[in-house]
Chain A
Amino acid sequence: MRFFLRRLGFYVITFWAAVTINFFIPRIMPGDPVRALIAKNQGRISTDAESALRTLFGLDKDTTLWQQYVDYWNLILHGDLGTSFTYFPTPVADVIAGAIPWTIGLVGIATIISFTVGTLIGSGIGWRRGTWADSLLPISTFFSAVPYFWLALIAITIFSVTLGWFPASGSYDRSLVPTFSWEFISSVIYYGTLPALTIVISSISGWILGMRNMMVTVSSEDYVTVAQAKGLSERTVLFGYAARNAILPQVSSFALSLGFIVGGTLIMEIVFSYQGIGYYLFTAVAAKDYPLMQGIFLVITVAVLFANIVADFVYGVLDPRTRQEG
């Protein structure tokens, strides 16, 4: 238990550091956000609006940096991330809250499928190395070596444009009202299949290769030979002894990839015009929407941290050696 508490303490400190850096970086940058905004719009905003914008950004009051820092924390802990420029006057928190379920739902499920299937295939190939199963490796490596945007475009060309099996863009049929009805959910699944499939295809080889190589290493460990010598069933030796130990490094990479789900699928969401967090980050960058960018960065940081916490805990459960006290 002390192990978990210590890890938790570590993550609280990391979170504090991340938020602090997120706060200071824009303030260290030279320039005045209001002037920049006016200059960017080149006369379309009248100079009279300048004081109004200053009030909106909270720059009218002469507060110390320390006071701003305390206020920033206060706002974050209340879930207030400011107001988006591009989706004015929607608060950043609402924009992110609207986008995140789509990203987590689609990319999360795709990543879990990719990890599960890849790890299973990898265990099988590693266990029977030197057989026909090894020929699966170059095929899967080929797909992961193909640049993702190209793979996605090819998939759209073949399955949406030529064959017409799946829609080319969007996340659900726009004529439907988002409710928890079967009609809506099936539409979400239908629209999500192609993006999810391309993610699985491009990422699965990493899982297969990682697991296969660990299986090859672990299979030659003495305890696997002992398990064979004990006359345990092949199933028990494979899953209880070989794969059970080979999966440990996979778990940490899986947790890391979970963290990157939130931010790391920019290209997929752009190519498929999928309204997830990556898509909003892209529009925010294009429109120089600083509050939205900062909010998304914060959410990504928190997601990576949270995934690390999960990884640590799962690892602690799976591997007794990391639980060692002291």
Chain B
Amino acid sequence: MTLTSPLDGAGAAPLASDGRSQRLTPSADPVLEIKNLSVDYGYDDDPVHVLRQVSLTLGRGEVLGLAGESGCGKSTLAYAATRLLPPPGLITGGEVLFTDRSGVKTDLLRLNDTQLRASRWQDMAIVFQGAMNSLNPVYRIGRQIADGIRAHEPKTTQKEALERAAELLDLVGIAPDRLKSYPHQLSGGMRQRVMIAMALALDPQVLIMDEPTTALDVVMQRQIVEQIAELRDRLGFSVIFITHDVSLLIEIADRIAIMYAGEIVEDAAALDVYHRPRHPYSSALLHSFPPLRGPRRELIGIPGSPPDLSKLGHGCPFADRCEFAFDACAKVNPQLVFPNVPGDDPRRAVACLRHDPSAVRAVGEEPPPVPPELSLT
């Protein structure tokens, strides 16, 4: 058991000099706090730093969207937080604090194997990217839902577990007689629903969904997303929804965190990100797909490609592709700070030197003003 450090008390003012550890807790009642999580790939002397000091807080009952390009570390974050990182991934630092219903905090990264097994699925369940391959092809789906239940509740009989599985299938809109089906007898959408039903089997408080709809067509995507939102309202779990599809996130998420090159660059309420992006990358992401409603806007791609994580220098990793970059961007890697726009929601944060004059002054330069594109109100 680890208690939160006093620095994390809600209401503390965000300080530019040490933005990461003193960021405001966006929710007064966090269920999952990821703090300064770092992940390397490779065991040799020169590992690739895939996650660099990522901090993220998930409030109880909240849907947190995690967006970013391929390879930015979204899935790695999900795997690291659940300690499912396949080799050669290695968690090199940080904490993943889980708060259970009675308010006791546990650091998932410091549990031993037995405790970890007991915590998995019970506290935090995960729905993976590959809907097609997430089910064991040789077992009936009923058995696969039931074995998860029985692993955590050994007193449950197989019959009771299967009854629960039938209820769970009903919850996601699949006929209970499908319990006897094998995975290959189900469509992709049904398999993903089965995975959601399976994830809800032990009434977890956190559901991590790693691109749950990527392999599905748009109609099925919409149904699944609506179903998740509806189940969340009914059952009250919290969701970390990982996707590269920002337009989808705006529909479902309460809050969105944008990731770039293994770091979180912006963290704000969903509508704020959508209407008032503060980071040049968020702004560019939003201009790379057509808006669902409202006036049409010009579509602009993001020039260049994501940086090679093994060759990152000192400066801002986005500087090479950023239209607002200036001299200091090559020297200082920006920390998450409160945006330099008066009247913004105090709980939002952005990692951009345009919003961080004190960091620019620290390297002896005159901070340029915040461009109008990054200070929309």
A positions within 8 Å CB-CB of B: 130, 220-223, 225-233, 236, 240-241, 244-245, 248, 318-321, 324
Which residues of A sit under 8 angstroms from B136, Cβ to Cβ?
223, 227, 240-241, 244-245
Which one of A130, A231, A248, A321 lies within 8 Å of B148 (CB-CB)?
A: A231
Nearest chain B residue, comparing its CB with the CB of A245: B138
| B151/A232 in contact, CB under 8 A | yes
The reply to whether A229 and B184 form a contact with Cβ atoms under 8 Å apart is: no
Which residues of chain A come closer than 8 Å to B130, judged between CB atoms?
222
Question: Are A228 and B184 touching (Cβ within 8 A)?
Answer: no
Q: Are B128 and A226 closer than 8 Å at their CB atoms?
A: yes
A220 to chain B: closest residue by CB: B86
Closest B residue to A129 using CB positions: B87
- Dominant SS among interface residues on chain B: loop
Given contacts A221-B133, A223-B134, A223-B136, contact A231 B184 (CB under 8 A): no
Spot the interface stretch: B112-120, B220-228, B243-251.
Answer: B112-120
Q: Hey, what's the 0/1 contact readout for B351-363 against A, CB within 8 Å counting as 1?
A: 0000000000000
Task: Enumerate chain B residues within 8 angstroms of A222, measured Cβ to Cβ.
Answer: 128-130, 133-134
Instruction: Kindly provide the distance from the CB of A63 to the nearest chain B CB, expressed in whole angstroms.
Output: 54
Taking A231-B151, A320-B138 as known contacts, 8 extra A-B pairs with beta carbons closer than 8 A to each other, sorted by chain A number, are A223-B135, A229-B82, A229-B121, A231-B148, A232-B147, A248-B138, A318-B138, A320-B137
Residues of B within 8 A of A (CB): 82, 84, 86-87, 116-122, 125-126, 128-130, 133-140, 147-148, 151-152, 182, 184, 195, 198
A205 to B6, CA, bound (A): 59
B121 to chain A, nearest CB (A): 5
Looking across the interface, which residue of chain A has its beta carbon closest to that of B133?
A222
Given the complex of chains A and B, what is the CA–CA distance between A227 and B144 in angstroms?
9
CA distance A54 to B121 in the complex (A): 81
B147 to chain A, nearest CB (A): 6
Asked whether B151 lies within 8 Å of A236 as measured between CB atoms, the reply is yes
Question: Nearest Cβ distance between residue B204 and chain A, in whole angstroms?
Answer: 11
In the bound assembly, the distance between CA atoms of A231 and B140 in angstroms comes to 19
CB-CB < 8 A to A225: which residues of B? 84, 86, 128
CB contact between A320 and one of B117, B184, B198 (< 8 Å): that residue: B184
For A227, the chain B residues whose CB sits under 8 A away are 136
B120 touches A230 (CB 8 A): yes
5 nearest CB pairs, A to B = A231-B120, A222-B133, A230-B148, A320-B182, A231-B117
Q: Which of A221, A228, A240, A320 contacts B147 (CB 8 A)?
A: A240
Instruction: Please indicate which of the listed interface residues A221, A225, A226 has the most CB atoms of chain B within 10 Å of its own CB.
Output: A226
> In whole angstroms, what is the CA distance A7 to B118 when docked?
45
Closest Cβ–Cβ distance, residue A218 to chain B (whole Å) = 10
Contact A226 B138 (CB under 8 A): no
CA A228 – CA B120 in complex, angstroms? 8
Tell me the complex Cα distance, A221–B129, Å. 12
Given contacts A236-B151, A321-B182, contact A229 B125 (CB under 8 A): yes
In the assembled complex, the Cα of A319 lies from the Cα of B140 at a distance in Å of: 11
| Complex alpha-carbon distance, A229 and B126, angstroms | 7
Residues of B within 8 A of A324 (CB): 184
Residues on A with C-beta less than 8 A from B87 are: 130
Q: Which of A223, A233, A319, A321 sits near B151, CB closer than 8 Å? A: A233
Among B118, B151, B152, chain A packs the most CB atoms within 10 A around the CB of B151
Report 14 cross-chain contacts, Cβ distance below 8 Å, ordered by A residue.
Answer: A222-B128, A222-B130, A223-B137, A225-B84, A226-B128, A226-B134, A226-B195, A227-B136, A229-B121, A230-B120, A231-B120, A231-B121, A232-B117, A240-B139
Q: List residues of chain A with CB within 8 A of the CB of B119.
A: 231
Q: Which B residue sits closest to A223, measured CB to CB? A: B136
* B126 contact set on A, CB distance < 8 A: 226, 229
- B residues within 8 A CB of A232? 117, 147-148, 151
How many angstroms from the CA of A226 to the CA of B125 in the assembled complex? 9
B120 A229 Cβ-Cβ under 8 A: yes
Of A228, A230, A319, the contact of B138 (CB 8 Å cutoff) = A319
Q: A231-B151, A236-B147 are in contact. Are A319 and B84 (CB under 8 A)?
A: no
What residue of chain B has the Cβ atom nearest to residue A227's Cβ?
Answer: B136
- Interchain CB contact under 8 A, B134 and A230: no
**Bound Cα distance from A139 to B195, whole angstroms:** 43
Residues from chain B with Cβ under 8 Å of A228 in the complex: 84, 120
Residue on A with the closest CB to B79? A225
- List chain A residues, Cβ under 8 A from B120: 228-231
Cα(A225)–Cα(B120), bound, Å: 12
Q: Which residue of A lies closest to B182 (CB)?
A: A320
Question: In the complex, A315→B191 CA distance in Å?
Answer: 24
Query: Cβ of A230 and Cβ of B151 under 8 Å apart?
Result: yes
A221 surroundings in chain B (CB, below 8 A): 133
Question: Could you say which residues of chain B place their CB within 8 Å of the CB of A248?
Answer: 138
Interface centre among A230, A233, A240, A320 (most CB of B within 10 A): A230
Closest partner residue, chain A, to B43 (CB atom): A130
